[in-house]
Structure 1
Amino acid sequence: MTHIHYVECNTTHSGHFVIDVPVGFHWLLVITKTPAQFWVNGALKEYPAHSAVLYRPLQKVYYQTCGDSFINDWIRFESEEAYITELPLPFGIPFSLNDPEYCSKLFELLVTEHNFNRDYKKSSIDYLLRTLFNKLLESISQEDITPQYYNLLRLRTSIQNNPGDYWTIAKMADYLQISPGYLQSIYKKTFGVSCMDDVINSRIRIAKEYLIHNTQSIAEIASRCGYQNVEHFCRQFKKITGYPPRKFHKHVANQPD
C-alpha cells in the first residue's frame, strides 16, 4: 500500500514562493495550474501550466514561481507499489498533462479520503492513485499538447456530458472563438472524429440507454437527445445501430446474458 504524508489541491502561493530540497525526501508529485520554473539538468527552465513532475525519494527538488502567484496540486508519499516505483516516467522532468481537469478531480478526492478516517480509506486511496498514475502514463505517450488542445478537450467534454444541447458547428466554433472550418479541421485531427459525428455518437449512446431503461415515447427520447425531428432521429439511430428505435429494445432483450 501507499502512505500519504500530505496532499493538497488548488494551493496558491505568492510570487516569491520557492521549494528547495537539495537531497529530496519522499516521493513527490506536483501538478501545476500556472506556469512555473523547475530545476532540470542543472538549470532553471520555465514550464507551462498543466505540467506534472514526479520526484523519486532522495532526488533534488527545486521549483519556484515565475509570475505573481503559483497554483498547484501536490502529494508527498511513501510507496513500494510497482505501479509507482517501476513507472516509466521521467523523474524530475515536467511533462504536459493530457487531461488536467480529470487529474484535478482525482486530487480533490484524494484530499477528502486522506483527511477523513473512513472504513475503506486505504483501498479508496489506492484506487485513486492507480487512476492518477494511469493518467500520467497516458500523458507522456501523447504529443503536441497545446493550449488549443485543452480548449478542444473542454468542448468535447461538454458535448459528451450534454449531448441533448443544441450543438451546431457554428456554436462550437464560437465556443472556441475560431472559424467553423478551422474547428472541423483541428477537431478531427485531434480526436479522430468530426465534431458533428461526436455529437451524433453521444446522442445515440444516451438514446440507447433511454430506450432500454425508460418508458418514454420515441418522440420524448428524441427530444431529450437534442432532436427536433423524430424522423431524423430514427434515421440516424438506425444508421449507427442497425435497428430502428422501436426494434432496438427487443433486439437487446433477446441478447444472451
Structure 2
Amino acid sequence: MTNIFYVEYDAAHASNFVFDIPEGHHCWLLVVTHTPALFWVNGELKEYPAHSGVLFQPHQKIYYRACAEQYKNDWIRFESKESYVMETSLPFGVPFSLNDPEYIHKIFQLLVSEHSFQKNYKESSIDCLLRILFNKLLESYFQEVITPQYYNLLTLRTAIYSNPSQDWAVPRMADSIRISPGYLQAIYKKTFGISCMDDVITSRIRQAKEYLLHGSLSIAEVSLRCGYNNVEHFCRQFKQITGITPRKFHKQMESVSVKSGAKT
C-alpha cells in the first residue's frame, strides 16, 4: 500500500528559503535538487551540489536551505509499507549524486500527473512509478563517484539521440561541453562503453529503422533524414550494424506486418 500526500516538480524558491522540521514528518520525504543546497547532515550544515537526492524517513529531523539566488527541487511526501521502501539500502538524510537526473525528473512529472487523476487504477500506476524511481536512486547511490563532467556528457548523449541527423562531428560535440576533442573521446567511451561517433551512428541507424518500419519514405529520403548525405555510406553502415540492407529490412518488416494482420 502506497499513498502520496504531496508531490511537486520544479518547485522554485528565493535565496532565503529554509525548510526546518525538527521532528520530521510522519511520513517519508524524498527531495531531488536542481540547484546546490545546504543540508543538515551528522550534526553540521554541509553544501551539496545540484542533482542530489535525499530520503528522509518518518520522524527524522529535516533541515535544508538555499545557498544561491534560487533554490529549485522536485519533492514527494508519501507513506508506504512496500519492501522496496521499508528495506531500502538508500541512506537516510544524506544527499547523494544522481546519475540520470533528467530521467528522475520525468518520473516526478508522471507522478504529479498520476496523482491528479481520480481513477481506480491510479494506485497501481503510482506504485509502479515509485518502484522505478527507487530503482534509479539505488543505481545512482551504488554507482562510482559522479563527476560534474558526467552531467555534461549525459546532456550531450541525450541531444545526440534526440537529434541524430545533426552534424555530430567530434570537434562540434567537444565544443558543446567545452572540452578538447581528444578528452571527449576518452571520457565518453569510459563513461558509456562506446565511442561518441559509434553512438552517433547507433542513434542514426535506430532512427532509420523507425522510418523504414513505420513510414513510406524512399531509402534516399531516410538516409537524408538520418544525417547521411551519401546513400551508399548510409546503406553500408546500416548493414554493418543490422546485418542486412535497409531495403531488405523494410521488406522483412513489411512481411511480418502482413502476416500479423492476416492472423488477426
Q: TM-score, normalised by structure 1?
A: 0.93
Aligned-pair identity (%): 66
Q: Distance in 2 between matches of 1:213 and 1:8?
A: 37
* Two-structure CA RMSD over aligned residues (Å): 2.0
Aligned-pair distance for 1:113? Answer: 2.3
For 1:27, the equivalent position in structure 2 comes to 28
- More displaced 10-residue stretch of structure 1: 202-211 or 24-33: 202-211
Encode CA deviations 1:77-99: one digit per residue, 9 max, x unaligned: 11111121112111111000111
**Unaligned stretches of 5+ in structure 2?**
none
SS in 2 for 1:7: strand
Aligned-pair distance for 1:210? Answer: 2.2
- More displaced 10-residue stretch of structure 1: 246-255 or 22-31: 246-255
After TM superposition, list the pairs within 5 Å mapping 1:68-107 onto structure 2: 68-107=69-108
Aligned residue type for 1:145: I
User: How many residues are matched?
Assistant: 257
Change (3 A) 1:254 1:105: closer
- More displaced 10-residue stretch of structure 1: 187-196 or 99-108: 99-108
SS in 1 for 2:93: coil
Q: Does 1:206 align with 2:207?
A: yes
For 2:143, the equivalent position in structure 1 comes to 142
SS in 2 for 1:64: strand
SS in 1 for 2:194: coil
For 2:13, the equivalent position in structure 1 comes to 13
Q: Distance in 2 between matches of 1:15 and 1:210?
A: 48
Q: Distance in 2 between matches of 1:177 and 1:78?
A: 44
Encode CA deviations 1:195-225: one digit per residue, 9 max, x unaligned: 1100101111221232233322111111111
Aligned-pair distance for 1:250? Answer: 4.0
After TM superposition, list the pairs within 5 Å mapping 1:90-239 onto structure 2: 90-239=91-240
Q: Distance in 2 between matches of 1:67 and 1:203?
A: 40
For 2:54, the equivalent position in structure 1 comes to 53
Encode CA deviations 1:9-53: one digit per residue, 9 max, x unaligned: 111223232222222221000111111111111211111111000
Q: Distance in 2 between matches of 1:213 and 1:248?
A: 12
SS in 2 for 1:211: helix
- More displaced 10-residue stretch of structure 1: 205-214 or 55-64: 205-214
**Unaligned stretches of 5+ in structure 1?**
none
SS in 1 for 2:73: strand
Aligned residue type for 1:6: Y
Aligned residue type for 2:182: G
Q: Distance in 1 between matches of 2:211 and 2:9?
A: 37
